[in-house]
A and B are shown apart, each in its own frame.
Chain A
Amino acid sequence: MRKQLVVDPIACVGHGLCADLFPERIVLDDWGFPIIDPREINADLAAHARRAIEACPTLALRLAPAARRP
């Protein structure tokens, strides 16, 4: 299934580790909170995505089925 990375904005407290571990799809805003590129995660990037997910201290990141976009 096609997957995309999503963040739970309530759980996220802006540690910012994810952006270090997965810069291909995550940048931080001016306050240190992740801005996530909504494109789907292909096989080449899956390992990096998993590394970011596992490193998140508040378990705020996950892979979810890609939202259908018009």
Chain B
Amino acid sequence: MTVNAIQPRRAAADAPTGVRRLLDRADVPELRLLRGHRSLFARPAPPRRARADLISLVERSGLRGRGGAGFPTATKLQAVAENRGRSVVVVNGTEGEPASRKDATLLQLRPHLVLDGAEQAAAAVGADDIYVCIDRTNTGGLETVGRALEERRRAEPGGASITLLASPPRYVAGEETALVHWINGGDAKPTTTPPRPFQKGVGGRPTLVNNAETLAHLAQIVQYGPEWFRSMGTDSEPGTMLTTVGGAVEKPAVYEVPMGLRLADLLSAAGTPRGVAGVLIGGYFGSWLAPPAVEEVPLCNEALRPLDSGLGCGVVAVLPADGCGVMESARVLSWLAAETAGQCGPCVNGLHAIATTFNELARGSGRSNGVAQLVRWGTHVEGRGACRFPDGAVRFLRSALALFGHDLDRHASGFPCEGARRPLVLPARRTVGGWR
């Protein structure tokens, strides 16, 4: 077998030419059914052994993970394929981030595209078991994917075995070691690394965990080719991305945009009639950025990293000019503290202390050294958990202090922002459910 032997099955001329790729013709209900989907996409070949040609195709595409870390997908595929024994593919459709609904939207509109991507990934790494994990509160997604799997079993028997699982609705449950531990029968909580899932995952086998959107891109790369994929986006972050735009915008929705699009262009499409006091990029795990500079920022990790920010799972949430960043941040910090898996001392205690103190300051009842304590606790908590959850919480805290520190001081001395009594605009989610 020669590397690079595989060619896209369909001329790129038939590929979507607009910016909507994953969501191309998303309003055509037939495409949600297998028959309609197969009129556009060839059935993935069943996995026999790890397929270097598929990995090489993904490598040439430059695809990076869309779940938060932005890691090169080909490197991840290669690491799993290199390990001995039959491997496992886990489709991560958990989406525990309260402000995000791009994976739920994608699973609802294009379930077969995600499942094709999972089968292609299984063929690439030599996996014969696929697990699709969807947050159990996403009943629509579970129904749609359940139906899609029924269609595939009837019309396309054989191939990898695909199991649909309803996972615990906790933010940290979507972290890859947590998901693997849960599939193995444990709590959906992160485990000590190493080993990482690519070394020892589901059933002790090498395991590839990929975000649902990442796999949908992979399916399109196999179908239309890496050159087509690279014809949008930036050199280092090619392709399009799904972004959930929310907060104080006229048209909150999931948008598909080229990687590297100027944020201003996205905001003008979504409409910001109340003005913009700040933009939360990357969701509750991300960071606040201030206008006007933020509006010139291209939506890609390369441009955001120097700002101590990142795309995360692609959330863009707008704080209106008449809103209160202090109250919004206080609620997010409370949510983060409640979402700790409760395993690592610095995370459990640190996030609780940070949320409590921030909320006290926001209500004007904090101690005078409160802000200094927040800064100190931030440095104490960062890097000291088994997973990166506390690091994300601290990054959010830092950005809140950088952008709203002055407002927080005023709140603390009894002079809250005018907007402090207005309804909060960031989507909230209550912490519910256990870890099984």
Contact = CB atoms under 8 A, between A and B. Distances in A.
Interface stretch (B137-145, B251-259, B346-354): B346-354
Given A30-B380, A35-B380, A9 B343 contact: yes
Contacts of A29: 345-346, 349-350, 380
Interface string A4-27: 000011111110000000000000
B344 interface: yes
A33 B349 CA distance: 10
Interface string A25-56: 00001111101000000000000000000000
B380 A13 contact: no
B384 A9 contact: yes
Contacts of A31: 345-346, 349-350, 353
Contacts of B386: 8-10
A30 B384 contact: no
Nearest to A29: B380
B377 A13 contact: no
B345 A32 contact: yes
B384 A35 contact: yes
Contacts of A11: 192
A19 B385 CA distance: 18
A11 B191 CA distance: 10
Contacts of A10: 190-192, 343-344, 386
Contacts of A30: 349, 353, 377, 380
Most buried by B among A9, A13, A35: A9
A8 to B, nearest CB: 5
A62 to B, nearest CB: 11
Nearest to B343: A10
B345 A14 contact: yes
A12 B346 CA distance: 10
Contacts of B343: 9-10
B345 A33 contact: yes
A12 B377 CA distance: 19
Contacts of B384: 9, 33, 35
Contacts of B380: 29-30, 35
A10 to B, nearest CB: 5
A52 B192 CA distance: 20
Most buried by A among B192, B345, B347, B380: B345
B160 to A, nearest CB: 32
Nearest to A14: B345
A9 to B, nearest CB: 4
A48 to B, nearest CB: 22
B305 to A, nearest CB: 14
A64 B317 CA distance: 41
B349 A8 contact: no
A11 B345 CA distance: 10
Contacts of B349: 29-31, 33
B345 A12 contact: yes
A8 B346 contact: no
A30 B369 CA distance: 15
A45 B59 CA distance: 46
Contacts of A8: 192, 386
Interface string B374-410: 0001001000111000000000000000000000000
Nearest to B344: A9
B353 A9 contact: no
Interface string B137-173: 0000000000000000000000000000000000000
Interface string B273-303: 0000000000000000000000000000000
A43 B350 CA distance: 34
A12 B386 CA distance: 11
B191 A9 contact: no
A57 B27 CA distance: 60
28 contacts: A9-B192, A9-B343, A9-B346, A9-B347, A9-B386, A10-B191, A10-B192, A10-B343, A12-B344, A12-B345, A13-B345, A14-B345, A29-B345, A29-B346, A29-B349, A29-B350, A29-B380, A30-B349, A30-B380, A31-B349, A31-B350, A31-B353, A32-B345, A33-B345, A33-B346, A33-B349, A35-B380, A35-B384
Given A29-B350, A33-B346, 20 more contacts: A9-B345, A9-B346, A9-B347, A9-B386, A10-B192, A10-B343, A10-B386, A13-B345, A14-B345, A29-B345, A29-B346, A29-B380, A30-B349, A30-B353, A31-B345, A31-B349, A31-B353, A32-B345, A33-B384, A35-B384
List of 3 A-B pairs having minimum Cβ-Cβ separation, nearest first: A33-B345, A31-B349, A9-B344
Interface of A: 8-14, 29-33, 35
